[in-house]
Amino acid sequence: MVTMKDIAAKACVSISTVSLVINHHDKGRVKPEIAANIWKVADELGYHPNAMARSLRSGRTHTIAFISDQVATTPYAGEIIHGAQDAARQLGYMMFIIDADGERNIDRDIDRMLSWGVDGYIYAKFANRYVSVPPMLDDLQVVVVNAEEHTAIHPRIEPDEVGIGYDATKRLIDAGCRRIAYIGCDEPAIAQFGRLKGYRQALEEAGLPFDERLTSRVSYGRPALEAVCALLDGMHPDGVFAFNDARAVYVYDYAFQHGLTIGKDLSVIGVDNHEVICDTTVPPLTSVELPHYEMGFWGACKIISLIEGRDPIKDKRVTPSYTAAPTPPLDSDGPTLIHCSIIEKESIAGKPRGQRNTGAVQTSETIGRSVPTAA
């Protein structure tokens, strides 16, 4: 390992001079030609500052930990990690991954993080769920991503579920649909309540009646397919808002069986913009995308803003590399809701109004909207 000592020896200066130069504190203190020579020697020797030694002195490690259960089990895991890692990288932080699988013996892992002196923690879920952040972390810097806490003591970000239901339904209404079905989820998930609420809001706003019989709550497999077919057979909706893409597929199955054409005879919109469904179905499925990358990105920015006491977004020290959507502001009080955009494919009859759909208009209203904790 090359150290400052080696550089000092080779450049015939003292270690402190090397330190001053390497840390750019040499302005007006070290002769430029000496500084230049130090850089040259450092480069020749292949010097890398020892982060360990640096951290030992400064008490700051420039590392954050990304804690989550189910790193493995959902297709979207990577997007959140990617977003968080991207922001961390740009801000000069390294990110550890910790799998809190089933809340197992996470305390042992946290012990290890405490040993490392990690500067802050991102606690993430891969589906919008209630979580309990381990109390051990309560005194530390923690940000919660894609989840709600019962206690609501940490800053957090989550998708605007009501907005999803509202935008999706409105999109169908704008396409001319008047009998819009909702294929829901049979679990009492946060998302289920929110999306249903948004669905009803959009209907009401358009003066359309809410009809319980146009809604269904299903899981997967044959029972789900049969429930969807029964609803479509009995109620003949002209549009379907599905809780997610996987459930929207049953509408396609029905259409194939009955010779209907999706996007013509029947409009469908899902949620997730799941690549493996939306880009492979015929026709491709229009879907609301959950901004996982963006949530991860926000989470890392937020935790680092707490660590450093300054706002990396306002300071323009960071740019999302994967998306054009603006990152919600960091300084809102209470939880931050993030808007979810409709990704237009071809499963909805007619054109959306304007080039950008209503979802885009919603953006300005919803991005970073702060909601009362009781919501």
Partner DNA sequence: CTGAAAGCGCTAACAT
Partner DNA sequence: ATGTTAGCGCTTTCAG
Binding site for its own copies (CB under 8 A): 1, 48-53, 55-56, 59, 61, 66, 70-75, 77-79, 81-83, 85-86, 89, 94-99, 101, 109, 111-112, 114-117, 220-222, 224-225, 245-246, 249, 252-253, 256-257, 274-277, 279-284, 292-293, 321-322
Site membership for DNA, residue 22 (CB under 7 A): yes
Site membership for DNA, residue 34 (CB under 7 A): yes
77 binds, among its own copies, DNA, none (CB under 5 to 8 A by kind): its own copies
- Is 189 within 8 Å of 127 (Cβ atoms)? yes
Q: How far apart are CA 14 and CA 6, in angstroms?
A: 10
User: In this chain, which of 9, 40, 43, 53 binds DNA, going by CB under 7 A?
Assistant: 53
95 binds, among its own copies, DNA, none (CB under 5 to 8 A by kind): its own copies
User: In this chain, which of 24, 46, 57, 364 binds DNA, going by CB under 7 A?
Assistant: 57
Q: Using CB under 7 A, which of the segments 27-35, 101-109, 156-164, 290-298 binds DNA?
A: 27-35
In the complex with its own copies, which residue's Cβ is closer, 151 or 257? Answer: 257
28 binds, among DNA, its own copies, none (CB under 5 to 8 A by kind): DNA
For residue 126, which of 106, 108, 100, 150 has the smallest C-alpha distance?
Answer: 100
* Other beta carbons less than 10 A from residue 211's beta carbon: 14
C-alpha dist (Å) from residue 18 to 54, 184, 349: 14, 64, 68
Alpha helices, H only, the chain: 4-11, 15-22, 32-45, 51-58, 77-90, 106-116, 161-174, 190-205, 221-235, 245-258, 275-278, 292-308, 358-366
For residue 317, which of 136, 163, 93 has the smallest C-alpha distance?
Answer: 93
In the complex with DNA, which residue's Cβ is closer, 52 or 374? Answer: 52
94 binds, among DNA, its own copies, none (CB under 5 to 8 A by kind): its own copies
19 binds, among its own copies, DNA, none (CB under 5 to 8 A by kind): DNA
- Is 299 within 8 Å of 84 (Cβ atoms)? yes
Q: How far apart are CA 227 and CA 239, in angstroms?
A: 16
DSSP annotation of 137: G
Site membership for DNA, residue 326 (CB under 7 A): no
Site membership for DNA, residue 4 (CB under 7 A): yes
Site membership for DNA, residue 25 (CB under 7 A): yes
373 binds, among its own copies, DNA, none (CB under 5 to 8 A by kind): none
283 binds, among DNA, its own copies, none (CB under 5 to 8 A by kind): its own copies
Q: How far apart are CA 178 and CA 272, in angstroms?
A: 24
Q: How far apart are CA 360 and CA 289, in angstroms?
A: 12
Q: How far apart are CA 66 and CA 87, in angstroms?
A: 13
Site membership for DNA, residue 50 (CB under 7 A): yes
Q: Is 272 helix (H, G, I), strand (E, B) or coil?
A: coil
Q: Using CB under 7 A, which of the segments 1-9, 87-95, 264-272, 360-368 binds DNA?
A: 1-9
Site membership for DNA, residue 323 (CB under 7 A): no
Q: How far apart are CA 309 and CA 93, in angstroms?
A: 15
DSSP 158-216: EE-HHHHHHHHHHHHHHTT--SEEEEEESS--HHHHHHHHHHHHHHHHTTPPP-GGGEE
Q: Using CB under 7 A, which of the segments 55-63, 97-105, 248-256, 306-314 binds DNA?
A: 55-63
User: In this chain, which of 1, 188, 316, 355 binds DNA, going by CB under 7 A?
Assistant: 1
Q: Using CB under 7 A, which of the segments 56-64, 175-183, 238-246, 361-369 binds DNA?
A: 56-64
15 binds, among its own copies, DNA, none (CB under 5 to 8 A by kind): DNA
* Other beta carbons less than 10 A from residue 158's beta carbon: 23
* 58-87 positions binding DNA, by CB under 7 A: 58-59
User: In this chain, which of 5, 112, 258, 310 binds DNA, going by CB under 7 A?
Assistant: 5
- Give residues in contact with DNA (CB under 7 A): 1, 3-5, 12-17, 19-20, 22-23, 25, 28-31, 34, 49-50, 53-54, 56-59
